[in-house]
Amino acid sequence: MANIKSAKKRVLVNRTRAERNKARNSALKTQLKKANAAIAENSADKDQILNDTYKMIDKAASKGLIHKNNAANKKSALAKKANA
C-alpha cells in the first residue's frame, strides 16, 4: 500500500477513472447492441439510433477509451450492415 500522500491520491484517482471508463465502455457496448438490433429488425428510427451510436463511438475515441482506428472500424461495420 502507498505511504506517500501523492501516491495515495494516485490510487484514488486511478480507481475513479477506472470506474468511469468501465461505465462508458458498458454504455458504448449497450448502444452498439441497440444499433445492431435496430438494423436487424429494420426499425423506423434506425437512422437516429445510428447517428447516436456514431456520436458515442467518436466521443469514446476522443476520450481515449478506444483507439481511433477501432472507432473507424466499428462505424464502418455498422454502416456496412445498415446499407446491406
pTM of the model: 0.85
Q: HSE of 33 in the Cβ direction (CA atoms, 13 Å)?
A: 6
Tens of pLDDT, residue by residue, the chain (84 residues)? 788 999 999 999 999 999 999 999 999 999 999 999 999 998 889 999 999 999 999 999 999 999 999 999 999 999 999 998
Secondary structure string (H, E, C) spanning the chain: CCCCHHHHHHHHHHHHHHHHHHHHHHHHHHHHHHHHHHHHHCCCCHHHHHHHHHHHHHHHHHCCCCCHHHHHHHHHHHHHHHHC
Task: Read off the amino acid at residue 22.
Answer: K
